[in-house]
A and B are shown apart, each in its own frame.
Chain A
Amino acid sequence: MIEQVKEHVKGLLASGKIAGFLGLRNDAGVVTPFLFKQEEQLDSSFSLGETESQGTMRYPMAKLALHLIQNCDDDSTYGVLVRGCDERALNELKRWNQLGNPDRIVQVGVACTLGLAEEHECRKPFPDEFVAGEKVDPQTNNSVQQVLAKDLDSRLAFWSAEFDRCIKCYGCRNICPVCFCNVCTLEEDALIKTGNIPPENPMFHLTRAVHMAGRCIDCNLCTEACPAEIPLRTLYKRVAEIIADEFSYVTGATGEGKSPLNILGSDPGHTAAND
């Protein structure tokens, strides 16, 4: 299946449709993101992120694509390797007006294996269009329901114990494909006091959760990246659910819509806040 992707990308490069392909390469056993510009590079080191099996090594390809688009000097078009989660992230970035001209990104889709989908309990383990892999069943993640099953005091004790392990490495933010701000509220001294580990509970994590509203596309990269194994995904997943309930805004969906900040601005009659 890696060959199918390679051939597809080679075709894109050869036709001049894309100036480069943002994918992954295996460099002596280390899988890292790489911008392929020549067909030969694909032959020597192209990877689908396999260490044990396909995709085990995941990177926030949407975020990397955003940086590439924003920082390259010309307005070339680039190919990007996307899974289901990456596609949702790109959709979301587009709705937050981050991608400029979205036509500059050509998605090269790959469907994930069942094993990977199960591991991350992925709600849609394939992009809308893909050149390799097979559609496997969507998986469900019940972590939100598990927390909701607890009473208030148990929830507080649960989260406090989790947050207490935080070493404030910002890994959750740095890996997040939809964290696009140039300056981060989590680094504002006046709001989150510096010099505390764990960071002030619950200010640090709830602040980040609020900023995930209308953004989190449930890719599970944060939880995967967290060295303290805090189930951050559960928190942000709940935030996404709240926004979906209140504003009928589904993160990661395709379409021309705008971010939920625009829902508040354009409809003064909305009274959810007046409660």
Chain B
Amino acid sequence: MKNSAQDDVRVGVFICDCGSNIAGYLEMKELVEFAKTLPNVAFVQENLYTCSEGGINEIKVAIPRENLNRVVVASCTPRTHEPLFMSACEEAGLNPYLFEMANIRDQCSWVHMREREAGTNRAKVQIAMAVAKAAKLRELNRIQLSLSHRAMVIGGGVAGMSAALALANMGYEVDLVEKRDRLGGILNDLNMILPTHEPPDKLVNNLVGRLQDHPKVAIHTGAVVTKTEGYVGNYVATIQHNDTENKIKCGAVIVAIGAQPLKPEGLYNYDGNKVITHIELESKLKLGDVQAKNISIIQCVGSRSKERTYCSRICCMTAVKNAILFKEASPDTKITIFYRDMQMYGVENEELFRKSKRLGVRYVTYDPDRPPRFDGESVSVYHLRMGRDMIVPTDLLVLSTPLVAQDDASEISTMLKVPINENGFFLEGHVKLKPLDFATDGVYLCGNARFPSTIREAISQGLGAASRAAGVLSKEALFTSGIVADINPDTCCGCLGCVAVCPYGAINFIENRGVCQVNKVLCKGCGGCAATCPSGSARLDGFSNQQIYAQIEQAMAV
């Protein structure tokens, strides 16, 4: 390993053609010549593809041959390629944090495709910035941690059960915590699952049976998680069951607490008897307790409104399903569905919708500004196409109310330090790139806790979350990133600004010393604390003020 603290900084710059992605739009020869003129640059090479085996090899060969102690790659996005280049440096004996990247593809050749000269000039600036920063880089070290290979799943509905079973089948011990007295969640209240035409009990019993028989699974029903401490790989959770408290260690946590149907108090004379929610209808159907002959179903009751702007996703399918069940059992039953938009996504659902129409279910669209009214005998609604009121005699009114967040969602959010959105649903790390992860490592998400989903979606999400969690649990050791914040205890004044700003709860105030301290395992290297600290005591390794100022200077100079 080279001593990088030495004064003679030798930067190697590798400039990637990316085939024609970069070379097709920028003057590569000019960039190479320019890079050679920069201070501390000892070696410059152009590669056809720096990320190819050949390109990587050239980095590995050049480091010892040219005695390089910093490496800059000017190519594409660090999001996808930085780890690759960093490990190339590491394999060549150079600390991987002595590496810097300039994204001259996404930020130059792609956005300035038709401006060859301007794009080239900009690439020069970015290379100069990267080299200036590289010269000031210091070796950083990752911290190695041991971890617990056990998982905890909070919520024993179909999503949580699927996740727990998948993890157990992969060989990990699982604690499944359910606050109710039995597993199954909202499925216990449902009547029939389409398109399989099976009672949900069959699915629930199957899962419960397999979980109960599984030697790796510990089921805690009637229990709640009251406290979690620690971080990825090393959580300690307190599970409360009646008056006893249990502490368990786990490496990953899956949040599967589900959602609950909205009780539409005050809407359409809701009474739970003649006017019921669609989930209550399911429970009644299960008991065979429905005799009505004229059934009206109103969609979007309490959702897609000012108060709750979201669409609950599952209510259209539920309404169509139940309408079909009624019609099949008794074709004389008159069923009218009042809707705003029918969301029957996918081929199967579309087919169900058509089937219901064939069976004679009536669909009447309504304007949210003129919603249907119910007087106890009939539903009247302004018919948009006829331009007048339409009256439908009704002896059972079903309200399709949305699923809303569990009452304890915000409590669990605070406990695990993971975010919820304005409606109380848990917020994933990234809607497309990290849909089942939280921004916090080691905590994962599935099912209705995330957003109303169908049973199949809940199961796939459960399996997905299990797979994400297993990504952590399967490791023999965890390494934190070297890019973490550090607070100098000699200069910190303990003003607590950083504590408030840290989104990961990674900073603690050490009372007896009057200073703040970073937990490097929890820190994600966002730099919020470094930007906030009035005395400059908090700094982000790998993004020090000096390194950033050096970059700014180059940006302004060239």
| A residues with CB within 8 A of B | 96-98, 100, 180-185, 188, 190-191, 211, 258-259, 261-262, 264-266
Task: Name the interface residues of B516-539: CB closer than 8 Å to any CB of A.
Answer: 532, 534-537
A185/B497 in contact, CB under 8 A: no
- Contact residues in A for B496 (Cβ distance below 8 Å): 96-97, 258-259, 261-262
- Contact residues in A for B494 (Cβ distance below 8 Å): 97-98
Q: Is the interface of B mostly helix, strand, loop or mixed?
A: loop
A185/B495 in contact, CB under 8 A: no
- Contact residues in B for A188 (Cβ distance below 8 Å): 536, 545
How many angstroms between the C-alpha atoms of A264 and B491 in the bound complex?
23
- Contact residues in B for A262 (Cβ distance below 8 Å): 496-497, 500
Q: How far is the CB of A275 from chain B (nearest CB, A)?
A: 18
B501/A265 in contact, CB under 8 A: yes
B497/A261 in contact, CB under 8 A: yes
Q: Does B19 contact A (CB under 8 A)?
A: no
Q: Does B546 contact A (CB under 8 A)?
A: yes
B495/A183 in contact, CB under 8 A: no
How many angstroms between the C-alpha atoms of A264 and B501 in the bound complex?
7
Q: Could you give, for residues 78-103 of chain B, a 1 whenever the CB lies within 8 Å of some chain A CB and a 0 otherwise?
A: 00000000000000000000000000
B545/A191 in contact, CB under 8 A: yes
How many angstroms between the C-alpha atoms of A171 and B499 in the bound complex?
31
- Contact residues in B for A182 (Cβ distance below 8 Å): 490-493, 535, 537
A185/B500 in contact, CB under 8 A: no
Q: A191-B549, A261-B532 are in contact. Are A181 and B500 (CB under 8 A)?
A: no
B535/A183 in contact, CB under 8 A: yes
How many angstroms between the C-alpha atoms of A268 and B380 in the bound complex?
44
Q: Does B376 contact A (CB under 8 A)?
A: no
- Contact residues in A for B535 (Cβ distance below 8 Å): 181-185
Given contacts A97-B509, A181-B491, 19 further A-B contacts (CB under 8 A): A96-B495, A181-B535, A182-B493, A182-B535, A183-B491, A183-B537, A185-B535, A185-B536, A188-B545, A191-B545, A191-B549, A211-B534, A258-B496, A259-B495, A259-B497, A261-B496, A261-B497, A261-B532, A264-B500
A98/B490 in contact, CB under 8 A: no
- Contact residues in B for A258 (Cβ distance below 8 Å): 496, 500
B500/A265 in contact, CB under 8 A: yes
Q: How far is the CB of B457 from chain A (nearest CB, A)?
A: 29
Q: A185-B536, A258-B500 are in contact. Are A97 and B495 (CB under 8 A)?
A: yes
Q: How far is the CB of B518 from chain A (nearest CB, A)?
A: 15
Chain B, residue nearest A269 (CB) = B422
How many angstroms between the C-alpha atoms of A190 and B550 in the bound complex?
9
A183/B500 in contact, CB under 8 A: no
B534/A185 in contact, CB under 8 A: yes
How many angstroms between the C-alpha atoms of A257 and B467 in the bound complex?
45
B495/A261 in contact, CB under 8 A: yes
Q: Does B514 contact A (CB under 8 A)?
A: yes
Q: How far is the CB of A211 from chain B (nearest CB, A)?
A: 6
Chain A, residue nearest B494 (CB) = A97
Q: How far is the CB of A48 from chain B (nearest CB, A)?
A: 31
How many angstroms between the C-alpha atoms of A167 and B489 in the bound complex?
32
A100/B549 in contact, CB under 8 A: no
How many angstroms between the C-alpha atoms of A211 and B532 in the bound complex?
10
- Contact residues in B for A96 (Cβ distance below 8 Å): 493, 495-496
- Contact residues in B for A261 (Cβ distance below 8 Å): 495-497, 500-501, 532
How many angstroms between the C-alpha atoms of A180 and B52 in the bound complex?
54
- Contact residues in A for B514 (Cβ distance below 8 Å): 100
B490/A266 in contact, CB under 8 A: no
Q: How far is the CB of A33 from chain B (nearest CB, A)?
A: 22
How many angstroms between the C-alpha atoms of A69 and B158 in the bound complex?
59
Most buried by B among A181, A191, A259, A262: A181
- Contact residues in A for B492 (Cβ distance below 8 Å): 182
Q: How far is the CB of A266 from chain B (nearest CB, A)?
A: 6
How many angstroms between the C-alpha atoms of A180 and B495 in the bound complex?
9
| Contacting residue for B495 out of A98, A100, A264, CB 8 A | A98
Q: How far is the CB of B135 from chain A (nearest CB, A)?
A: 14
Chain A to chain B contacts (Cβ below 8 Å), 6 pairs: A96-B495, A96-B496, A181-B534, A183-B537, A259-B496, A262-B497
Chain A, residue nearest B419 (CB) = A268
How many angstroms between the C-alpha atoms of A261 and B538 in the bound complex?
14
Task: Name the interface residues of B543-558: CB closer than 8 Å to any CB of A.
Answer: 545-546, 549
How many angstroms between the C-alpha atoms of A42 and B534 in the bound complex?
39
